[in-house]
Amino acid sequence: MEQLSVQKRIFIAVLLTFAFFIAYDYFYLSKFQVPENNATGALIDKQSRNTEALVNEAPNAKNDKVAPAKAVNKRNVITQIKGKIANFSIDDLGRINSYVLNESKYKNDDKMQIDLVDLSKSPLPLEMRFSNPDLNELAFKTPYVASASNLDITKNEQNLVLTQNLGDVLVTKNITFYPNGSYKISVQLNKNAEFFISPGSRPSIVVDGYTVHGVLIRKDDESLKMFEDGDVDSNENIQNANIAAASDRYYTTFFYDFTNKLNLVISSDSDKVSQIFAKADKTFEAGGFIGPKHYDLLTGIDKRLSDVIEYGWFTFISKPMFGFLKWLHNYTGNWGWAIVIMTLIVRAILYPLSYKGMLSMNKMKDLAPKMKELQARYKGDPKKLQTSMMELYKKNNVNPMGGCLPILLQVPIFFAIYRVLLNAIELKGAEWAFWIHDLSVKDPYFILPITMGILMFLQQKITPTNFTDPMQEKIMKFLPLIFTFFFMAFPAGLTLYWTVNNLASIIQQYTINKMFAKHKAAIKEEKNESRS
């Protein structure tokens, strides 16, 4: 295969990779999206559901079934807690059965505050299950007694003691709640009895295909293991973990212990949602958290908890990118302008690569007539054609791969930024222009995606191409329209990045085209002078 064909195919592959990546998110994975519908006003409806079918059984290492204890998730509230991050409640099974975020930006489509606990899901946060089926069944029938019916943790931490009398076994949950949304829990049994306790099923507020959702485990060696929803076919035992987090796109619930470590079992429910259980015998201690995956909030508890914010394949690039974006926001005070500045700076840093690629494409365009001549001359001799073309490249100091390799090297960076802007809950409720009031949702008037499509079209017009295949040329012409369609449903922050990126590409391409034209004119003038 001639080198020109290879170059064109790589170039097409890069562009189609972007298109496929976005189309896959939009058409296939987005079918998993769950609307933001958990709210305090919906609690009555949720509690009125028939939850007798929920089976609260202890996970088993062999994945064998044990005698279940059917629990009704509609339980009496024994403690109400007023917090700085959220207002929440504890039911008479010693579980957090409601967790309503306070900040005004955490609202659903009905303008109601989001509740991170869904009573139709099990386990609930701090739910305990026993390996002994008889004890387990009794535990789900016996109410806890609380040391206080109301707590205020808006300014200072408060302690709550929950006790449950199971005959021979006495359960004591000692919980300290903090204003930053974290808590410390200590479970004490008066005698040995194997049990499992969960930080709760992951929030199901924003479950989509654009981002990773499921269970994330951080091991003692700082390695991360992700159990995405649908990936857990049988129970998996994990030793020496220090973070066990269940998350959707923006919200999380987790246990952490950086001292004694966690002994975990990862399982899945009937909906294939990955679940976490910490395994213990007689005693259990850990820290915990429920709330938004906000970087400052998590690192304020412990810097290592930033690992809960997971970006998928490009986490190793995305994390420093987010740190840079956050640093820019500290100076600009606006997430939108921070995105604009970050995009321009990244483009400037990558300019040497872009320059080489664009310059190579200009040179290849100039050689197009000569290459067509060679293709016509050696139509029946592919080997001779390839040899002649290589000689032509060498004579004109052209690298046939030079136009595409620089683009390929930039792809991971573009996708890393893509993931950052999809995952950053900091963009929720963040304004930019007069019509953009929330960078985490789509542009309500589609101004940004349409502008992006127009800029992409203009970029194509000024970018040198030498396609000889009509089908390839048609694909290229339709890409701006396809991208515009996809980005109409994407968050405004992501579309802003892509729009600015296209604008920067046009400026760079225009500049290089001018430089190349000037260079050609100078060479032509030198040749004319030498002849005269």
Hey, where are the domains in the chain? 77-310, 326-526
Contact 138, 58 (CB under 8 A): no
Q: Going residue by residue through the chain, which has 532 residues, state the pLDDT in tens, using 9 for 90 and above.
A: 344 444 444 455 555 555 555 554 544 444 334 444 443 333 333 333 333 334 677 776 444 444 445 555 678 999 999 999 999 999 999 999 999 999 999 988 788 899 999 998 889 999 999 999 999 999 999 999 999 999 999 999 999 999 999 999 999 999 999 999 999 999 999 999 999 999 999 998 887 776 778 999 999 988 999 999 988 888 899 999 999 999 999 999 999 999 999 999 999 888 889 999 999 999 999 999 999 999 999 999 999 999 999 887 778 889 999 999 999 999 999 999 999 999 999 988 888 877 777 677 767 777 777 777 877 787 777 888 888 878 877 777 776 665 566 666 677 888 888 889 988 999 999 999 889 999 999 999 999 999 999 999 998 888 766 555 566 667 777 888 888 988 998 899 999 999 999 999 899 888 877 877 776 677 677 667 666 6
**What pLDDT score was predicted for residue 270?**
82
Joined together, the tokens standing for residue 61 give 């290492």
Joined together, the tokens standing for residue 345 give 């700076």
Query: CA angle, 30 as apex, 24 and 32 as ends, to 5°?
Result: 130
Residue 290 belongs to what H/E stretch? strand 283-292
**What pLDDT score was predicted for residue 21?**
52
Joined together, the tokens standing for residue 122 give 């099990």
Contact 278, 196 (CB under 8 A): yes
**What pLDDT score was predicted for residue 529?**
67
How distant is the alpha carbon of residue 417 from its chain centre? 11
Read off the pTM.
0.81
For 149-218, the three-class secondary structure string (H helix, E strand, C coil) is CEEECCCCCEEEEEEEEECCEEEEEEEEECCCCEEEEEEEECCCCEEEECCCCCCCCCECCCCCCEEEEE
**What pLDDT score was predicted for residue 195?**
96
Contact 420, 464 (CB under 8 A): no
**What pLDDT score was predicted for residue 44?**
31
Cβ neighbours for 159, distance < 8 A, ≥ 6 positions apart: 147, 174, 175, 176, 177
Helix axes 405-423, 335-349, angle to 10 degrees: 160
Report the distance separating Cα 142 and Cα 106, nearest Å: 35
Report the distance separating Cα 464 and Cα 47, nearest Å: 63
**What pLDDT score was predicted for residue 375?**
77
**What pLDDT score was predicted for residue 176?**
98
**What pLDDT score was predicted for residue 75?**
84
**What pLDDT score was predicted for residue 532?**
61
Phi, psi (deg, nearest 5) at residue 305: -75, -5
**What pLDDT score was predicted for residue 14?**
52
Cβ neighbours for 340, distance < 8 A, ≥ 6 positions apart: 496, 500
Report the distance separating Cα 201 and Cα 117, nearest Å: 8
Query: What does the DSSP 8-state code read for residue 508?
Result: H
Contact 73, 47 (CB under 8 A): yes
**What pLDDT score was predicted for residue 15?**
55
Residue corresponding to tokens 């930080």 = 199
Contact 261, 241 (CB under 8 A): yes
Q: Class assignment of domain 77-310?
A: mainly beta
**What pLDDT score was predicted for residue 402?**
58
- Backbone angle region of 75, left / alpha / beta, with phi > 0 → left and psi within -120 to 50 → alpha: beta
Cβ neighbours for 154, distance < 8 A, ≥ 6 positions apart: 82, 83, 84, 179
